[in-house]
Amino acid sequence: MIEISQKQQKILELFLRNNLLSSSEVHDHLSKEGEETSLVTIKRELSRMATSGLLTASGRGRSRAYSVSVWGRVLSNVDASTYNAAEPDKRYGLANFNFDLLPLFPPEIFTSAELAALEQSTDEYRRQTADLPAAIQKKELERLIIELSWKSSKIEGNTYTLLDTEKLILEHKEAPGHDKKEAKMILNHKEAFEFVHNNKKEFLTLTRANMEQLHGLLIKDMSVSAGLRQKPVGVTGSKYRPLDNIHQIREAVETLAAVISYANTPYAKALLALVGISYVQPFEDGNKRTARIMANALLLAHDCAPLSYRSVEEKDYREATLVFYELNSIVPFKSIFIEQYVFAAKNYAVK
């Protein structure tokens, strides 16, 4: 992955806010922010960033201008909390689906240091899951399913507590005073994860078929249509509007599947599924739930630790998702993914 300096990150932020800038305009913006850099230095830096693929250059001579590329967007280090502090209509992000994003997605999205940390966690996970007695395997699987079903549902607004979820899954007792759909959402998570766990090698990569299969399990008996949606959907609290044409949705799913199949590591495949399914929003409802279970399916298929998301803050998860929707930056979500993977590898012995 391209290593990006602090100065380059500052320049990328300028381009996220402004569609097209000349070297002089970049110099003026940075000067106003107290950055004492010569115009010659700025020109040299912009040229380097264009050569590395972070920027796209257009025009020649005095009319030469730059814009942020897909790589520049994806790898921009955006502060998710600061960005989301503004009202949706006052944010500077994109309001529509970026058709260039998936076809031009970088082949590697983790730095060498991040990959080393993930691999180290995977080695630890594989050591602790080797030769586990069947009784312990069963207990560990139950624990992961309970915690994943609880937190994934909670991210969607489900009000069951962790103890409520444990009682529902282990004792089949619904919590009093709750909508029956909340219990169904949790039990559907359980069924979907068990299906993935029992059919790991069906998920070496994402396909439209296995994605729709997971979605069907997650929305079972919840009054949600199966299959690719044929109507527009909105995203609460975001200016982003997903695709509303089923032919474009189908094509976006196929492109996402191809990008995931080309990804170099199981971690990249899982993270791309997490953000990609959520971004495309191929279904009427249940997109983020499908994304989380699909990410786990890809990890398990490659003998990696599955995620429970137990320790993630819902606010952080939502803000990172909105940054990807509107700015296409994967950096905030990548931080969550790495943190949750390291946590999962240490805390679960599910194989």
Binding-site positions read 285-292
Q: Count, in order, helices (H) and strands (E) of the chain.
A: 15, 2
CB 56 within 8 A of CB 41: no
**Six-digit token string for 200:** 């790991």
- Residue located via tokens 């997650």: 218
Query: In whole angstroms, what is the distance from residue 195 CA to residue 150 CA?
Result: 17
**Residue 210 Ramachandran class (φ > 0 left, ψ -120 to 50 alpha, else beta):** alpha
Cα-Cα-Cα-Cα dihedral sign, residues 91, 67, 114, 306? positive
Residues contributing to the annotated binding site for ATP = 285-292
Q: Give the H/E segment covering residue 236.
A: none
**Residue 172 Ramachandran class (φ > 0 left, ψ -120 to 50 alpha, else beta):** left
Burial 260-295, CB ≥16 within 10 A → b, else e: beebebbbbbbbbbbbbbbbbbbbbbbbbbbbbbbb
Angle between helices 180-198 and 162-171 (to 10 degrees): 70
Amino acid at 351: K
At residue 306, the 3 state secondary structure works out as coil
**Residue 6 Ramachandran class (φ > 0 left, ψ -120 to 50 alpha, else beta):** alpha
